[in-house]
Structure 1
Amino acid sequence: MREPVSVCLALYNGEKYITEQIDSILSQLDHIEDELIIIDDCSSDSSVEIINSYNSSYIHLYQNDRNMGYIKTFEKAICISKNSIVFLSDHDDIWVEGRLNKMYDKLQEADNWLVCSNFETFNNKGESKVRFKTKLIQSKPEKFTRNILSIFKGNIAYFGCTMAFRKELKNYIIPFPDYIDAHDLWISMTGNVLKKVVHLEDITILHRIHDNNTSFVQRDFYKKLYTRFLFLKTLIDAYKRKRMNNIQIKKK
């Protein structure tokens, strides 16, 4: 029997899409201790009412008392999560059938702490859209440095909605650095620094593209330059946390 999982979902004005996403997640939860943690970031639509209409013991709804933004909302959800495996989820995507088990099984191999998968994108008309041409390929130990370089180049498909990780990683990623503008790149950077990330080549997410998405935003030259600076800071901080945690482990 598999270990229980925690699914962390950040919600903001998701009334149009949240039902389809929740249904795709609940269909894959079958452990009595599984949990779907939903944190509403002060939605002004009927998102909360939709969540409350579900009669599921898996769902645990929390509401922010002020708008915190999706990065801090995900951080809060991860802190609340109690299970061995943590999945991240946006409110407007759809989980592909078998996603949970495929990613869970990948985390059982070797000493993997973080798994990232591929995804497909579609619009509100159901049309397939190619928004990120680079696909993840199976990682090998000698490829971690290459993955980090690809983060700097901006040509590796690391997105939070495609991630799951073991609870041990929380000691290294929480709290999120205050300066980051992408929690998924912080998590993936840390996973590669620790040499505990693995790529799953399967498509496990249908990622919806619409006007309110924050993903795939085009950036000008100066914004790209500043982003690379932030990547360097995350790399340095990831190594610092690795060293600090190793010291604490040795003391124990």
Structure 2
Amino acid sequence: MKPDFPDTGLTVVVATRNGVCWLPDLFASLARQTLMLARLSILDDASTDGTWDLVRDAAVPGGQTVAGRQETNEGAIGTFQRLLSMVDTEYFALCDQDDVWLSDKLENSARLLEMSGADLVYTDLRVVDEDLNELAPSMWRLSNIVPVTGHAVVPLLLKNSVTGCTVVARRQLLERALPFPDGIPMHDWWLALVAACGSGVQALHEQTVLYRQHGTNALGAAKFSSKGLSDLLERRHLTMGTYTLTRLSGRLALIRGLEERNLAHLPFLRRFYRLPTGLRLVLSPIYLGYTVTRAHVLGWRNLLVDAALTCLPLGSSHKGVTA
């Protein structure tokens, strides 16, 4: 049985940037969806290849296509913010230019959204190479992602389990989430936290997206291992010290955004993340006790890795984070 959507329907939002190689596959997969979308909203972020020509001619069966172009490169967060600010349907879905959606992705996610009453639904992904050959059957297993549900604010802050290109959510979520706070790591992480502070998040335990890996992924899939972390640092051209400081700064930006909007208050984490590395190391048992108590659903492996990256002087500066 298909979900009973009102006439206001669902908008799929796509941010594009030099994606001429990938967009034909994506658009074809959107056209095959078993749940018809009301609108496809595309914003091109100052592409320098033939992407705009593809975007301008894009269409979906039975739906409206709205395409726009930014003359200067704003980045993923800024582009998605503009796209989401224009959503006027009851529901929306986030979409990346280089992925392929399985045909029942929207239908199954929308059904769970309606049945659960949650603000946001997300799913697992199948990791594939540039030619769509399978690299890993499950992104969740590859990256040791625990699919948390409900009002899991602290677990989501410690490890974001929500991959943006799988998200289907209610427009009412945007009333609390927009505009995005300064300094957040990614828009999907912020949307997940805001949803957890509202009617909650729900995880669909299915792979609904072919998550394509190539040399220009904004984030990409990483194996949960020391080699996976090393590959991640190499891909982002970061040192361990820069990575750990950026990680804490991003979390502080998320916490600050939640507290400024009275969505959640996390004074312990806000103060702890601002401490110098030496003090965080000394107080690490307290931090671990806090996270175990409030985020035990993540499991000991995730919590120990989080504590190590947060509290150990892994090449980072001994100064506190002031974000």
TM-score by length of 2: 0.67
| Aligned structure 1 segments of 4 or more residues deviating by more than 4 angstroms | none
Q: Given that residues 134 and 157 in structure 1 are in contact (C-alpha distance below 8 angstroms), is that contact kept between their aligned partners in structure 2?
A: no
Deviates further, 169-178 or 187-196: 187-196
Instruction: Identify if the C-alpha distance between structure 1 residues 136 and 205 changes in structure 2 by more than 3 Å, giving closer, same or farther.
Output: farther
- By how many angstroms is 1:54 displaced? 3.8
Residue 15 (structure 1) aligned with residue 35 (structure 2): no
1:190 aligned counterpart, secondary structure: helix
Deviates further, 73-82 or 178-187: 178-187
> Residue 94 of structure 2 corresponds to which residue in structure 1?
88
Q: Among residues 72, 86, 92, which one is paired with 1:66 in the alignment? A: 72
Q: Given that residues 15 and 42 in structure 2 are in contact (C-alpha distance below 8 angstroms), is that contact kept between their aligned partners in structure 1?
A: yes
Q: Among residues 2, 11, 25, which one is paired with 2:5 in the alignment? A: 2
- By how many angstroms is 1:120 displaced? 1.2
Percent of aligned positions that are identical: 21
> Residue 32 of structure 2 corresponds to which residue in structure 1?
27
Instruction: Identify if the C-alpha distance between structure 1 residues 180 and 241 changes in structure 2 by more than 3 Å, giving closer, same or farther.
Output: same
Distance 2:47 2:250 in 1: 29
- 1:147 aligned partner, one-letter code: P
Q: Given that residues 118 and 157 in structure 1 are in contact (C-alpha distance below 8 angstroms), is that contact kept between their aligned partners in structure 2?
A: no
- By how many angstroms is 1:78 displaced? 0.5
Distance 1:138 1:71 in 2: 23
Distance 1:25 1:49 in 2: 18
Deviation digits for residues 215-247 of structure 1 (CA, Å, limit 9, x no counterpart)? 134352332233223213312422432459xxx
> Residue 241 of structure 1 corresponds to which residue in structure 2?
261
1:214 aligned counterpart, secondary structure: coil
Distance 1:181 1:138 in 2: 19
Equivalent residues in 2 for 1:35-184, closer than 5 Å: 35-54=39-58, 56=60, 57-130=63-136, 132-137=142-147, 139-140=149-150, 144-145=152-153, 147-148=155-156, 151-152=157-158, 154=159, 156-184=160-188
| Unaligned 5+ runs, structure 2 | 221-231, 265-323
2:261 aligned counterpart, secondary structure: helix
Distance 1:160 1:140 in 2: 17
TM-score by length of 1: 0.85
Count residues with an aligned counterpart.
237
Distance 2:34 2:85 in 1: 20
Q: Among residues 222, 243, 247, which one is paired with 1:227 in the alignment? A: 247
Distance 1:58 1:34 in 2: 6
Distance 2:118 2:263 in 1: 19
Q: Given that residues 194 and 242 in structure 1 are in contact (C-alpha distance below 8 angstroms), is that contact kept between their aligned partners in structure 2?
A: no
